[in-house]
A and B are shown apart, each in its own frame.
Chain A
Amino acid sequence: GAVVSQHPSRVICKSGTSVKIECRSLDFQATTMFWYRQFPKQSLMLMATSNEGSKATYEQGVEKDKFLINHASLTLSTLTVTSAHPEDSSFYICSARDVRWGLETQYFGPGTRLLVL
């Protein structure tokens, strides 16, 4: 299957700082990527849809000014958690939408664990 990478895999930061997470599709172009958040023992919750060349679409309850998404190229989307607080500590996972071969599949990155002190 296709490969999606995330960087960094783990990050620890102080409260009030901003953290940028990168999501890359390594062997295909993705006009659409998705960002999810997973709290301990909970399922993945979709935060936003990242669209190449246009603004991201946020799910209800997700603050767009806090979670900045930039999809500047067909292989890269970034999520910036601005002014992070301890309650933002979570596991962030991205996925990239692959529409090659006439079938739609999403490939997931390995996730980024964020700990805000």
Chain B
Amino acid sequence: KQEVTQIPAALSVPEGENLVLNCSFTDSAIYNLQWFRQDPGKGLTSLLLIQSSQREQTSGRLNASLDKSSGRSTLYIAASQPGDSATYLCAATGANSKLTFGKGITLSVRP
């Protein structure tokens, strides 16, 4: 059974800092890995999707990497802003298109 872990559960950084959010998964037989953003009381916003054959994806200030062999993915946020404050979830897609989510990292960017 796939398990996805995100540590730490919460992170507070000053504005402007570059930061890395970590995600690990136990079963490397994944179809893809996605990073989502969730604001309080809201749904999910898809940030980046990395296919299993890819190593990384970039969108603006965000860069996500995937290392299937080690069961790890990272989300890099450059020049963080207060508007980046949210919960970031990673999810691994496995057999039958089922997503397994981590518990998320709640990020707070201080002005």
Contact = CB atoms under 8 A, between A and B. Distances in A.
Contacts of B99: 34, 44, 46, 95, 106
A8 interface: no
A95 B89 CA distance: 15
A43 B89 contact: yes
Contact of A49 (B49, B98, B103): B98
A106 B97 contact: yes
Interface residues of A, number: 22
Contacts of B93: 104, 106
Given A43-B103, A43-B104, A108 B46 contact: yes
In terms of DSSP, what is the predominant structure of the interface of chain A? strand
Nearest to A111: B43
Contacts of B31: 104
Contact of B102 (A43, A49, A113): A43
Contacts of A103: 51
A43 B101 contact: yes
Contacts of A44: 44, 89, 91, 99, 101
Given A107-B46, A109-B43, 8 more contacts: A1-B46, A43-B104, A44-B44, A49-B97, A104-B31, A105-B49, A111-B42, A111-B44
Interface of B: 31-32, 34, 36, 41-44, 46, 49, 51, 89, 91, 93, 96-104
Interface of A: 1, 32, 34, 42-46, 49, 93, 95, 97, 103-111, 113
